[in-house]
A and B are shown apart, each in its own frame.
Chain A
Amino acid sequence: MAELSIVEAINDCLHAELERDPSVLVMGEDVGRAGGVFRATAGLRNRFGPDRCVDTPLSEAGIMGTAVGLAMAGWRPVCEMQYDAFSYPALDQLINHVGRYRWRTRGAMEFPITVRMPYGGGVRAPELHDDSPETYYVHTPGVKVAIPSTPADAKGLLAAAIRDADPVVVLEPKLHYRTERGEVPEGEHVVPLGRARIAREGSDVTLVAYGSMVPLAERAAAELEAEASAEVLDLRSLKPLDEDALLRSAAKTGRVVVVQEAPRVCGFAAEVAAILAEKAILDLHGPVLRVTGYDTPYPYWQLEAAYMPSVARVRDAVRRLLEF
């Protein structure tokens, strides 16, 4: 075991996967010579050469579109989108082709494409470096979505994505790229998609979170210790979703607060609330509450601390639910 940051764990994973499978290649803007703007791909070009760690033209739809053709030629492309909001030009390819091509061939061809990108706010960045776009991806049939919150999961979920037969979008919490450190297994390490993780045990209320909201939920749970025993459920992958873990925790605590950084309307928290309404209504002592970003553009960064879900907002929601 080595203690690594999230971005180091991603780099470690990419080295291990390119070593393991000669059909894996990394492609994206500035991923080669520069090693990525966050250094997630540092060292790959030197070790595996410019054909397996490809500096591409500045062309997100071109990256996603050529990845489809590369997959048809037998490659397993790992595409980096430099930032969350820069991925939107590639949505056309993702929705119209990446998620549909396997179905179109009636399962005859596989499109094992991984798309990884730093996501989320709280980093005092200029406009459009702060988005949480997971809903667009989760809503796209044929595409899976994973979001790690720890260094070990950052490595393990990315490895699972790269090995998956289907396209997987991996959103990496850039806020915690370097601040979250933890033990990461050396060599090959795979965390299967679709298995949630109980980040903290509790009995009165469940805080459902993923990605950068997991450390926040853990802090909120710690601060609430005197008032309530809060469980933190880290979903890890939004599609496939570990419904059993969600329903188990809801049955145990009877109260659920979902924390998501993205705007509220039709966000993933709404899906979680709907599943609980359909399948766990008699287990619940009160409504499922959401703590989310607001339905506005992500704000100027001097206001971002107020916009993003905070310990105070989570605590407020938990108190309202306990008093319900």
Chain B
Amino acid sequence: MAQVVPAEAGLQRVIGDGAAPESTVDGLDDPDLLELYRDLVLLRTYDERSVVYQRQGRIGTYAPFWGHEAMQVGAAFALEREDWIFPSYRESAVGLLRGMSPATVLQWWRGHPSGWWNPGDYNVASICVPIATHVPHAAGLAWGKKLRGERTCALVFFGDGATSEGAFHEGANFAAVMRAPLVLFCNNNQWAISTPVEEQTAAAKLVDKAVGYGMPGTRVDGGDVLAVYQATSQAVARARAGEGPTLIEAVTYRMAPHGTADDPSAYIDTERVEEERRNECVVRYERYLRRHGLLTDQLADEIRAQALEVMRASIGVVEAEPPPDLSLIFDHAYAAPPASQAADLAELRRVVGEL
């Protein structure tokens, strides 16, 4: 089998290839194991349908996360509902794991204001587009909760490229100095658009950066949902015990374009992509469940059909929603809008009418 990453040393795994005995994960019973599968299928279906909707012109530019589902599902499953998740655009649909409707996220990618949710409803922060700039937000929230004496912790998702940004450094350092209950979750898919991780850093492993911040780091197979869950659970336990932040480097390989406007054939090793796709995270977990007698064809079909139905209903909902009112250009920029905004809106309505 191909190596997932060049440097395999220290890469934690739970799911095996079926040949050797597999370890189990504490704290997960059979219903949990199936819930993880439902979550994986929900995100996979969301992602695949979104690419189709983009091709059909029903949503705008979209950043696929095909192959990243195990990282998002495994990490989110290790959190409690009160804990906060700070997503980048690669985790745009992570709110689905907290009960958010896919319609909301689809609207985000359609450029409709109803795509912006209230973070407080799900404890999922707004999708962060500029790279790594949400790392300090997560550090601040975790620190702020700790100052209030609450047991809430935060988890922030970012990619390998984000570790080159100043905001990653400042957020990680702040969290460490304040001993903030934070999990820094790096999804190292080895590509920042077209730049390979070897050109992103001279560090042997991204997780090595943890040493410089005085925090522990864990390197885990990002295609192994159980290993991700386990590593995140350990980091969350440390955070709740007042021991501060942990850096998790989850290693995978980007098997989809950076975005729907990207053509990776210009830079990526397509044979490697094909090879990785044969062992991608949802298939690997399906095999695991079947080996343990937890998944039948019928159940898998049911779960997939349910997810597809949710997506069909959601795209219907968003396409039935009227276009946003022009007032939404101005609303909510300030708690008390300046007088000029009413005049600007009135002028806009007079000149352009309505959408």
Contacts and interface: CB of A to CB of B under 8 A. Distances in A.
Interface of A: 25, 51, 56-57, 59, 61-62, 64-75, 89, 92-93, 96-97, 101-110, 141-142, 144, 164-166, 239-240, 243
B144 A75 contact: yes
8 contacts: A66-B143, A68-B137, A69-B139, A69-B154, A72-B141, A73-B147, A109-B119, A144-B334
Nearest to A167: B334
Given A61-B136, A92-B133, A92-B167, A108 B174 contact: no
Contacts of B333: 102-103, 141-142
Contacts of B141: 69-70, 72-73
Contacts of B174: 56-57, 59, 62, 65-66
A166 B337 CA distance: 10
A244 B130 CA distance: 38
Q: Which 10 A-B pairs have the closest CB atoms?
A: A69-B140, A65-B136, A73-B144, A66-B140, A62-B170, A108-B118, A69-B141, A165-B335, A107-B332, A70-B144
Contacts of A57: 170, 173-174, 177
Nearest to A93: B133
A72 B148 contact: no
Contact of B140 (A73, A108, A109): A73
B130 A142 contact: no
Contact of A74 (B133, B143, B144): B144
A105 B126 contact: yes
Nearest to A244: B339
Contacts of A66: 136-137, 139-140, 143, 171, 174
Interface residues on B, range: 35 or more
A305 B275 CA distance: 69
B70 interface: no
Contacts of B177: 56-57
Contacts of B118: 105-106, 108-109
Contacts of A105: 116-120, 126, 332
A239 B113 CA distance: 25
Contacts of A110: 335
Given A109-B120, A165-B336, A240-B338, A93 B147 contact: no
A117 B86 CA distance: 29
Contacts of A141: 333
Interface string B135-165: 1111111111101100000100000000000
B75 interface: no
Interface string B314-341: 0000000000000000011111101100
B111 interface: no
A240 B333 CA distance: 13
Interface of B: 84, 113, 116-121, 125-126, 130, 133-145, 147-148, 154, 166-167, 170-171, 173-174, 177, 331-336, 338-339
Contacts of B147: 25, 51, 73, 75
Given A61-B136, A96-B130, A102-B334, 18 more contacts: A51-B147, A59-B174, A62-B174, A64-B136, A65-B135, A65-B174, A66-B136, A66-B137, A69-B138, A69-B144, A72-B137, A92-B167, A105-B117, A105-B120, A106-B116, A107-B331, A165-B336, A166-B334
B169 to A, nearest CB: 8
Given A59-B174, A141-B333, A72 B166 contact: no
Contacts of A109: 118-120
A195 to B, nearest CB: 13
Given A68-B136, A97-B137, A239-B338, A104 B116 contact: yes
Given A57-B177, A74-B148, A166-B335, A104 B139 contact: no
Contacts of A93: 133, 136, 167
Most buried by A among B121, B130, B134, B140: B140
A69 to B, nearest CB: 2
B188 to A, nearest CB: 22
B171 A62 contact: yes
A105 B120 CA distance: 9
Given A62-B174, A69-B144, A240-B338, A108 B133 contact: no
Most buried by B among A101, A102, A103, A164: A103
A108 B332 CA distance: 9
Contact of B167 (A65, A67, A144): A65
Contacts of B166: 61, 89
Nearest to A23: B148
B349 to A, nearest CB: 20
Contacts of B134: 97
Nearest to B156: A69
Contacts of B140: 65-73
A191 B341 CA distance: 23
B83 to A, nearest CB: 12
Nearest to B154: A69
B137 A62 contact: no
Given A74-B148, A239-B338, A69 B143 contact: yes
A107 B336 CA distance: 11
A92 B119 contact: no
Nearest to B334: A166
B10 to A, nearest CB: 29
A92 B168 CA distance: 13
